[in-house]
Amino acid sequence: MVTVRDVARESGVSISTVSRALAEPERVAPETRDRVVAVANRLGYRPNRAASGLRAGRTGALGLVVPDLENPYFASVTKGVQARARQTGHAVFVVDAGEDPALETELVTGLRSQTDGLVLCSPRAAEADLDAARDAPVVLVNLRHDGVPSVSSDDAHGVLLAVEHLRALGHRRVAYVGGPDRSWSDARRRAGLDVARERYPDVETVTVGSFRPRVEGGRAAADLVVASGATAVLAYNDLVALGLVARLRERGVDVPRDLSVVGFDDTFVATLASPPLTTVRTDLARLGARAVDRLVAALGTRRGAAADGSHDPATSPDDVLPVELMVRDSTTLAPTRDLPAR
Amino acid sequence: MVTVRDVARESGVSISTVSRALAEPERVAPETRDRVVAVANRLGYRPNRAASGLRAGRTGALGLVVPDLENPYFASVTKGVQARARQTGHAVFVVDAGEDPALETELVTGLRSQTDGLVLCSPRAAEADLDAARDAPVVLVNLRHDGVPSVSSDDAHGVLLAVEHLRALGHRRVAYVGGPDRSWSDARRRAGLDVARERYPDVETVTVGSFRPRVEGGRAAADLVVASGATAVLAYNDLVALGLVARLRERGVDVPRDLSVVGFDDTFVATLASPPLTTVRTDLARLGARAVDRLVAALGTRRGAAADGSHDPATSPDDVLPVELMVRDSTTLAPTRDLPAR
DNA sequence: GTGAAAGCGCTAACAC
DNA sequence: GTGTTAGCGCTTTCAC
Of B82, B91, B272, the CB nearest to A96: B82
C-alpha A132/C-alpha B300 separation (Å) is 33
pLDDT of amino acid B210 = 94
Shortest CA gap B95–chain A (Å): 7
A212: left (phi over 0), alpha (psi -120 to 50) or beta: beta
Amino acid found at A191: A
- What distance in Å separates the CA atoms of residue A110 and residue B46, rounded to the nearest whole number? 8
Residues 212-251 of chain B with CB under 8 A from chain A are 215, 242, 246, 249
Whether A130 has its CB under 8 Å from any CB of chain B: the answer is: no
A2 touches chain B (CB under 8 A): no
pLDDT of B130 strictly over 80:
no
Q: Report residue B248's pLDDT band, with 50, 70 and 90 as the boundaries.
A: very high
pLDDT of residue A191: 96
- Could you say which residues from 160 to 179 on chain A have a Cβ atom under 8 Å away from some Cβ of chain B? none
Mean pLDDT confidence for A162-187: 95
A126 has a pLDDT exceeding 80:
no
Q: Binning pLDDT at 50, 70 and 90, where does residue B308 land?
A: very low
Q: What pLDDT, on the 0 to 100 scale, is given for residue A337? A: 61
Q: Provide the positions of strand D that have an atom within 7 A of a protein CB.
A: 1-5, 7-13
End-to-end CA distance of chain A: 82
**How many angstroms separate the CA of A8 from the C1' of D3?**
12
CA of B86 and C1' of C12: distance in angstroms?
Answer: 36
Nucleotide nearest to A8 (CA to C1'): D3
Amino acid at site B192: G
Taking residues B190-199, report their average pLDDT.
96
- Determine contact: A52 vs chain B, CB below 8 A: no
Residue B339, pLDDT score: 45
User: SS3 for A99-167, per residue?
Assistant: CCHHHHHHHHHHHHCCCCEEEEECCCCCHHHHHHHHHCCEEEECCCECCECEEEECHHHHHHHHHHHHH
Q: Å between A143 CA and C11 C1'?
A: 38
CA B119 – CA B293 distance, rounded (Å)? 11
Among the partner residues B69, B246, B274, nearest to A75 by beta-carbon distance: B69
The answer to whether A274 contacts B274, with C-beta atoms less than 8 Å apart, is yes
Peptide bond into B276 cis (omega under 30): no
Answer yes or no: is pLDDT of A342 > 60.
no
Domains, chain A, in order of start with CATH, read: 4-47 (1.10.260.40), 58-153+284-308+315-321 (3.40.50.2300), 155-282 (3.40.50.2300)
First and final CA of chain B: distance in angstroms? Answer: 82
Strand, coil or helix: B332: coil
- % pLDDT > 70, chain A: 90
Nearest chain A CA: its distance from B219 CA (Å): 11
Q: How many helices (H) and strands (E) does chain A have?
A: 12, 12
How far in angstroms lies nucleotide D8's C1' from the CA of residue A278?
Answer: 55
Q: Residue B206 forms beta bridges with which residues?
A: B175
pLDDT at B303 over 80: no
What confidence tens digit (pLDDT) does each residue in A4-21 have?
Answer: 999 999 999 999 999 999
Hey, are the CB atoms on A82 and B69 less than 8 Å from each other? yes
Q: Is the preceding peptide bond at A256 cis, omega within 30 degrees of 0?
A: yes
- With bands split at pLDDT 50, 70 and 90, how would you rate the model's confidence at B150? very high
Measured between beta carbons, the chain A residues lying within 8 angstroms of B105 are none
pTM of the model: 0.91
CA–C1' gap, A32 and D1, in angstroms: 9
pLDDT of B99: 84
Mutate to test the interface with A, among B94, B214, B274 (most CBs of A within 10 A): B94
Q: Which of residues 182-211 of A touch B (CB under 8 A)?
A: none
CA–CA separation, A163 vs A144, rounded Å? 24
Burial of B329 (0-12, 13-18, 19+ CB in 10 A): middle
User: pLDDT tens, B50-68?
Assistant: 898 898 888 899 999 999 9
Nucleotide nearest to B23 (CA to C1'): D11
